[in-house]
């Protein structure tokens, strides 16, 4: 009996997937990602933030059973927690995996819940990056909401990338802009995060998110006053390192 050919590397699979979908629409890219064996076992990661409902709705149109990973950092706005439950029910999402930080690690590293004040990168690692890495351990790929218009290191992202752990990262909305997102929400009568109307166009943890003034960048309210734009810590070779947004992403990047 002939041996099966080994699966190509993640980088090779990503190159092939981008070649196959280069001119596809976001729904087509998503449908392809959920069905192509090159992608493998896949989950979606969602922050249930300001724009998350668009990608969640697109996923629900294809397959409501796709696991959706939601990281509850224990520092989220109450409005986000309520919105998560509302959207999941309205869209009929069958498998929401609510992931929380390890309570033992929190007691050891942030017993007073003030780590975000002294070392926000370490807080993001403890409360988001590490729980998310554990949650994605059984998957070959994950869907997120990163978009080129968000700037910084995202201006040239493709539909498919690799993350630092060797998984495939799927960005169906890479080519969409803010108007596309808002039009989709209106046309499909999707519920909006209640904090958007209060001046929060980008929503993360409550202690590190403030309203945005007219004319400011939509992410100006994230870690205001600090030299920080992303979660700031990701995995390389199984180790946590400080760096940019190429790893397991920021709150809004997750969709």
Give the pLDDT confidence of 3-17 residue by residue, as tens digits: 555 678 889 999 999
- Cα–Cα distance between 33 and 54 in angstroms, integer? 17
The CATH homologous superfamily for domain 10-254 is: HUPs (3.40.50.620)
With contact defined as beta carbons under 8 Å apart, do 84 and 48 qualify? yes
pLDDT surpasses 50 at 234: no
The predicted model scores a pTM of 0.86
Task: Identify the active-site residue in 123, 124, 205, 231.
Answer: 231
Active site (annotated) includes residue 208? no
Dihedral sign computed on CA atoms, order 239, 241, 244, 249: positive
The per-residue pLDDT for range 217-233, each reduced to its tens digit, is 877 878 887 766 555 43
Residue 192 and residue 53 in contact, taking contact as beta carbons nearer than 8 Å: yes
Report DSSP letters for 130-152, one per residue: HHHHHHGGG-SEEE----GGG-G
36-49 tens-digit pLDDT: 999 999 999 999 99
Boundaries of every domain in the chain: 10-254
Query: For residue range 181-207, what is the model confidence (pLDDT) as tens digits?
Result: 999 999 999 999 999 999 998 899 999
């Amino acid at each position: 009996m002939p041996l099966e050919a080994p699966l190509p590397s993640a980088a090779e699979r990503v190159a092939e997937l981008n070649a196959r979908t280069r001119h596809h629409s976001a729904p087509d890219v998503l449908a392809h990602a959920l069905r192509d064996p090159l992608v493998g076992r896949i989950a979606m990661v969602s922050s249930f933030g300001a724009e998350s409902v668009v990608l969640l709705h697109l996923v629900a149109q294809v397959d409501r059973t796709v696991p959706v990973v939601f990281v509850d950092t224990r520092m989220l706005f109450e409005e986000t927690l309520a919105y998560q439950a509302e959207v999941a029910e309205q869209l009929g999402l069958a498998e929401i995996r609510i992931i929380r930080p390890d309570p033992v690690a929190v007691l050891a590293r942030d017993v007073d819940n003030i780590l975000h004040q002294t070392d926000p990168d370490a807080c993001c690692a403890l409360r988001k990056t590490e729980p998310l890495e554990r949650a994605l351990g059984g998957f070959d790929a994950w869907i997120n909401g990163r978009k080129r218009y968000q700037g910084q290191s995202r201006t040239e992202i493709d539909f498919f990338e690799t993350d630092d752990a060797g998984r495939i990262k799927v960005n169906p909305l890479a080519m969409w802009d803010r108007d596309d997102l808002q039009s989709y929400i209106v046309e499909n009568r999707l519920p909006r995060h209640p904090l958007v109307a209060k001046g929060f166009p980008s929503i993360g943890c409550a202690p590190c998110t403030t309203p945005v003034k007219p004319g400011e960048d939509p992410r100006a309210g994230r870690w205001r006053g600090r030299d920080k734009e992303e979660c700031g810590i990701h995995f390389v070779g199984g180790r946590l390192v400080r760096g940019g947004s190429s790893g397991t992403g920021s709150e809004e990047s997750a969709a």
